Amino acid sequence: MIDVAIVGAGPAGLSAAIELRRRGVGRVVVFERELFAGGIPRHSAHLGYGARDMHRITTGPRYAALLTRRAEKAGVEIEVGRSVTDFAQLSARAVLLATGVRERPRSARLVPGDRPAGVLTTGSLQQFATLHHQRVGNRAVVVGAEHVSFSAVLTLAHTGCRVAAMVTALPHHQTYPLLRLATAGRHRVPIHTGVDIAEIVGRTRVEAVVLTDGRRIACDTVVFTGDWIPDHELARAGGLPMLLVAKAPIVDASWHTQQQGVFAIGNLIHPAETADVCALDGRAVAEHVIDWLTVGSWPAAVAAVEVAAPIQWAATSAIGVTFRVDEFVTGSVAASNGSELLHQTKRKKWIPNRAYHLPRLRDCRQLTFKR
């Protein structure tokens, strides 16, 4: 019998598995649908991984390899090429879902137009570029202007593809000025704000995009970036209730879901944090999984943190209560347990598509925003 079955061998799943074994749990098996363990970092060749969990900065592939080696050394069984489609496949005393996140592709964003080749997400772009060393095109339009969108600009530049423009429906880009400068600035990429893609043109290969303000940009590649959605199909098939906007399974502050014996961590529950935060989720959940295995207690009620606009959603991460706003807005955020104020931030500017964290708070049930 498996003690803990973990679905997903990304930073969250592998870190949980290592910690569970370190704390003496007998049989810990990680199921991974890809042929190699490591999750998204495996595809992400740039520096920027490991700060908070490994206390060093390394590249995605090195970080993924290090975590995988540590898991193997700790006696974790990793079954690659195993896609879990049903909880019934997992005969285990506890189940830990760590299936991560993906970007909404063109179809989910309801973008009209032809259906030519050359339409990607950053995830597929990185697979072509990092894993298969393929050139993707000559002239691209990047849709989105959050952190990952600027990472896509760099990846495209490395493959020899010029970026004609970035396009965001929001009034400003959403990344740090320095990151913008080092990517779009360095490669002289214009950022068109307040517009969206109205149409993709091209019979067999992309020929152009038309923007909602009527401008037409010639290109042979379109990369849809960010706009994260959890890989939640397995959780939904298992009947777990979801946060409405984030589309993530509802968990409490100890990552219990509403189904006894099933925990959820990583970007599956907070789309999308950095890899180190997901790895720290993995380490922190181990204690609660072990409580379930040894004491067998489960909370009577598992509820989401309630939020009000402009806060989109909030969820637990290892470093606190993580949340997003859906507009550029100035004000302060207050956390309460429904009756008492637990924490209040300073008044400041908040930016959509950015990760924000409040400290870990006992019994945080509600976030409100004061403009």
Q: Which residues bind ligand FAD (CB under 6 A)?
A: 7-13, 31-34, 39-41, 44, 48-49, 83-84, 98-101, 122-123, 126, 148, 151, 231, 234, 266-267, 272-276, 278
Amino acid letter for position 114: D
Name the minimum Å distance from CB 49 to ligand FAD: 5
Name the minimum Å distance from CB 183 to ligand FAD: 12
Kindly report the three-state secondary structure assignment for every residue of 316-362: EECCEEEEEECCCEEEEEEEECCCCEEEECCCEEECCCCCEEECCCC
Q: Is 289 helix (H, G, I), strand (E, B) or coil?
A: helix
Q: If 0-12 CB within 10 Å is exposed, 13-18 middle and 19+ buried, where does residue 83 land?
A: exposed
Cβ closest to ligand FAD, residue 152 vs residue 358: 152
- Over its C-alpha atoms, the chain yields an Rg (Å, rounded) of 21
Cβ closest to ligand FAD, residue 146 vs residue 202: 146
Cβ closest to ligand FAD, residue 48 vs residue 116: 48
Name the minimum Å distance from CB 100 to ligand FAD: 2
**Are the C-beta atoms of residues 265 and 12 closer than 8 Å to each other?**
yes
Name the minimum Å distance from CB 163 to ligand FAD: 15
**Are the C-beta atoms of residues 283 and 314 closer than 8 Å to each other?**
no
Name the minimum Å distance from CB 365 to ligand FAD: 25
Cα(154)–Cα(363) distance, integer angstroms: 42
Cβ closest to ligand FAD, residue 109 vs residue 343: 109
Cβ closest to ligand FAD, residue 101 vs residue 333: 101
Cα(270)–Cα(284) distance, integer angstroms: 15
Name the minimum Å distance from CB 78 to ligand FAD: 11
Cβ closest to ligand FAD, residue 147 vs residue 256: 147
